[in-house]
């Protein structure tokens, strides 16, 4: 639920909350208008965030452009930039525990998961720090005598990064580390629901040696901050993670300015279980694939495609395991399912559940807000639907919550058809002991990523991204840095007469 100005803004003295101003050109910045950030566990405000506007985006973009063209960052060699990123990795690692607690307070995910993410994030900065001085151009073997030509790689310039609320810092690192390694400067617009950790993150980067103005944060709402960031003439590339609907708008808006885009969007990922699979491992994989992170992940395995011959037994096993999931305080190590991050998202999840019931799906587990919620926060029970047909909303649309749709299949060809029957194509899981089938299925499924006898594994070394409506471009891996670089061709006349009839003018 986006806060209206009347409910979101306060004057400086109204709340005794943790205050998070914007961060522009190395300094805290605010215009004196704030909005509240609520803790999903309690449903109560815990922090206030500076509300930025178009003028603040202009300030941040100008600072980023100045840092890109004239500041100390512009004068660094790639090796020097790489060393700064490695120093940033060490600083982030030292603050991992504090960052994890801020993330939990802001987005409600389990502390164990957030601490795991925070401990892993420094690896992106080490990896791309090492890659910074490995970017090379090439000498061209020309067909023309008397010329020497080569290519060089140069940073695109100022990058606008727009991040979601489900894993704010992890998904920021995927974009920020390669952008900085390439030599770009950045303006970040975090989700209005989870801005606090991003402000803290950038402070740590500057303390570690990233020069002022290289990384800036403008907090606020999409219709003013986000829209202006995409439109801004000094911004040359946009990196976005979020819904496909918003991604379409951003892509169209960026195209009008001839800006590059990397869009990591939604998913309706299938977990496909064959009868020859290790069923115990598959049950665990399916449960963690949909109920971990309360289903609030773009690669959630929200569709279970299970071979008919094992359907009933597999569903029984699944329900027994999922029923034992402990709902509670995300800060507690014993909690397995935490709250939904926002009030708006809770309402959306419950709406999808109501639609599924109305369409004839059978509720095998859950489907309700807990009768005795463990706090004043926003919870929904782990939910499993059977008797789902592929055309149902619950099998087609991204719920982004702990809701699983179960669909049986007869054979491999039907499994492929069902897996590919949505407009999304982000992730897919295949559970089988047949290695030939694993290779066949991994090729046939329309998905940017496929896990075999595993699910939701990611690495800074492995490209991440989707097909179809799940996005454009790839993050992570060595190729990701290319999205932040321009190729320049240099021609040098070493003595050739100027008689080339093919010169374009």
Mean pLDDT across 94-101: 98
367: which residues sit within 8 A by CB, 6+ positions away? 353, 357, 381, 383, 385
- The one catalytic residue in 192, 206, 261, 298 is 298
* Tokens, residue 72: 């100390």
pLDDT at 499: 63
| pLDDT of amino acid 6 | 28
- Helix/strand/coil for 246: helix
Q: Give the mean pLDDT of 460-472.
A: 97
Whole-number percent of the chain with pLDDT over 90: 92
Active-site residue 397, yes or no? no
Are the CB atoms for 182 and 485 separated by under 8 Å?
Answer: yes
How far is Cα 34 from Cα 351, in angstroms, rounded to an integer?
30
Angle at alpha carbon of residue 459, lines to 184 and 236, rounded to 5° = 20
Neighbours of 4 (CB within 10 A): 9
pLDDT per position as a tens digit, 148-202: 999 999 999 999 999 999 999 999 999 999 999 999 999 999 999 999 999 999 9
Task: Identify the sign of the CA torsion 94, 43, 345, 301.
Answer: positive
| Annotated catalytic residue 264 | yes
Q: Max CA-CA distance within the chain?
A: 86
pLDDT grade for 502, boundaries at 50, 70 and 90: low
pLDDT band at 16 (very low <50, low <70, confident <90, very high): confident
The tens digit of pLDDT for each residue in 381-405 reads: 999 999 999 999 999 999 999 999 9
This prediction's pTM = 0.94
Could you tell me if 180 and 214 are in contact, meaning their C-beta atoms sit under 8 angstroms apart?
A: yes
How far is CA 177 from its chain centroid? 14
Over residues 400-423, mean pLDDT? 98
Instruction: Identify which of 398, 361, 368, 400 has the alpha carbon closest to the alpha carbon of residue 383.
Output: 368
Taking only the tens place, the pLDDT of each residue in 210-243 is 999 999 999 999 999 999 999 999 999 999 999 9
Contact 55, 233 (CB under 8 A): no
Measuring CA to CA, how many Å separate 81 from each of 24, 320, 490? Answer: 20, 52, 24
pLDDT digits (tens, 9 = 90+) for 171-181: 999 999 999 99
Residue 10 clears pLDDT 70, i.e. is over it:
no
* C-alpha to C-alpha distance for 128 and 132, rounded to whole angstroms: 6
- Please give the structure tokens belonging to residue 291: 């109920």
Buried b (16+ CB within 10 A) or exposed e, 236-271: bbbbbbbebebbeebbebbeeeebbbbbbbbbbbbb
- What is the average pLDDT score of the chain? 94
1: pLDDT strictly greater than 50? no
Q: Measure the CA angle with vertex 411, ends 409 and 412; round to 5°.
A: 105
Residues 256-273 have pLDDT tens digits of 999 999 999 999 999 999
Question: pLDDT band at 503, cuts 50/70/90?
Answer: low
pLDDT of res. 501: 57
Q: Which of 38, 103, 206, 264 is catalytic?
A: 264
């Amino acid at each position: 639920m986006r806060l209206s100005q009347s409910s979101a803004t306060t004057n400086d003295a109204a709340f005794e909350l943790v205050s998070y101003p914007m961060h522009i050109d190395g300094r805290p910045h605010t215009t004196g208008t704030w909005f509240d950030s609520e803790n999903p566990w309690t449903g109560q405000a815990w922090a206030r965030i500076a509300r930025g506007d178009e003028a603040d985006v202009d300030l941040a973009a100008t600072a980023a452009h100045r840092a890109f063209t004239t500041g100390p960052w512009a004068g660094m060699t790639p090796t020097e930039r790489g060393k700064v990123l490695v120093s940033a990795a060490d600083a982030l690692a030292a603050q991992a525990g504090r960052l994890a607690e801020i993330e939990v307070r802001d987005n409600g995910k389990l502390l164990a998961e957030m601490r795991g993410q925070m401990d892993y994030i420094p690896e992106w900065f080490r990896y791309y720090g090492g890659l910074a001085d490995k970017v090379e151009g090439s000498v061209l073997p020309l067909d023309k005598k008397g010329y020497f030509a080569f290519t060089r790689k140069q940073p695109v310039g100022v990058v606008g990064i727009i991040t979601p609320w489900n894993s704010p810092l992890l998904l920021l690192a995927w974009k920020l580390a390669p952008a900085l390694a390439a030599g770009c400067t950045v303006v970040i617009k975090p989700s209005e629901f989870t801005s606090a950790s991003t402000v803290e993150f950038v402070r740590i980067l500057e303390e570690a040696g990233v020069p002022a103005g290289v990384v800036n944060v403008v907090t606020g709402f999409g219709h003013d901050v986000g829209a202006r960031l995409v439109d801004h003439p000094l911004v040359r590339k946009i990196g976005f993670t979020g819904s496909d609907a918003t991604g379409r708008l951003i892509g169209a808006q960026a195209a009008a300015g001839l800006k590059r885009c990397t869009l990591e969007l939604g998913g309706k990922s299938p977990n496909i279980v064959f009868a020859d699979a290790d069923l115990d491992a598959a049950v665990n994989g399916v449960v963690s694939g949909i109920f971990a992170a309360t289903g609030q992940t773009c690669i959630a395995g929200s569709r279970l495609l299970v071979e008919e011959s094992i359907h009933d037994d597999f569903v029984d096993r699944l329900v027994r395991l999922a029923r034992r999931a402990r709902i509670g305080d995300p800060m507690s190590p014993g909690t397995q399912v935490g709250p939904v991050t926002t009030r708006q998202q809770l309402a959306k999840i419950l709406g999808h559940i109501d639609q599924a019931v109305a369409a004839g799906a059978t509720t095998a587990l859950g489907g309700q807000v807990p009768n005795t919620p463990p706090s004043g926060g926003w919870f929904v029970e782990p939910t499993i639907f059977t008797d789902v047909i592929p055309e149902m909303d619950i099998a087609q649309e991204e719920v982004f919550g702990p809701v699983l749709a179960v669909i049986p299949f007869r054979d491999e060809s039907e499994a492929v058809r069902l897996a590919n029957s949505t407009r999304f194509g982000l992730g897919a899981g295949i559970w089988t002991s047949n290695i030939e089938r694993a290779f066949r299925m991994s090729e046939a499924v329309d998905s940017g990523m496929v896990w075999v006898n595993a699910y939701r594994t990611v690495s800074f070394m492995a490209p991440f991204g989707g097909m179809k409506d799940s996005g454009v471009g790839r993050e992570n891996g060595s190729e990701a840095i290319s999205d932040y670089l321009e190729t320049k061709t240099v021609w040098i006349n070493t003595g050739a007469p100027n008689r080339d009839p093919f010169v374009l003018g």
